[in-house]
Amino acid sequence: GAVVSQHPSWVICKSGTSVKIECRSLDFQATTMFWYRQFPKQSLMLMATSNEGSKATYEQGVEKDKFLINHASLTLSTLTVTSAHPEDSSFYICSARSIGRMGLMDTQYFGPGTRLTVL
């Protein structure tokens, strides 16, 4: 089946530092990847849509200069949280949409998430 990985699974950093999170599709190509943020006991909130080879599309209210997204290949997208602050502490989850085969509709597969704690 389709597998999406994220690295790291958890990270603790000091306020003001930058953190990079990787999202990889391991056994399929993904032209589109999505980044979500989930605060404790809340829903997944879409942050941005990442398309391979082009700029990401950010949802309203998400600062593109703070959350840098790069989708350099069909299997890798990265999210960099710049100058992280305690309020950025959250569970970050990516999803990857597979390229359809044999006329089947594309499906999204979720990564395991990265728990970011900013001290």
Say how far apart CA 48 and CA 37 lie, in whole Å: 10
Sheet holding 67-73: strands in order across?
4-7, 19-25, 76-81, 67-73
Give yes or no for residue 54 binding other proteins (CB under 8 A).
Answer: no
Q: Which of 17, 29, 42, 83 binds other proteins (CB under 8 A)?
A: 42
Say how far apart CA 74 and CA 85 lie, in whole Å: 31
Residue 83 CB, shortest distance to other proteins, in Å, is 26
Give yes or no for residue 115 binding other proteins (CB under 8 A).
Answer: yes
- Please identify, among the stretches 19-27, 67-75, 81-89, 110-118, the one whose residues bind other proteins according to the rule CB under 8 A: 110-118
Strand partners, 78: 22, 70
In 10 A of CB 33, how many CB atoms? 29
Give yes or no for residue 27 binding other proteins (CB under 8 A).
Answer: no
Retrieve residue 97's tokens: 């949409």
* Contact positions with other proteins (CB under 8 A) in 70-109: 91, 93, 95, 97, 105-108
Residue 31 CB, shortest distance to other proteins, in Å, is 12
Q: Quick one: DSSP state of residue 104?
A: P
Which residues bind to other proteins, rule: CB under 8 A?
32, 34, 42-46, 49, 60, 91, 93, 95, 97, 105-108, 110-113, 115
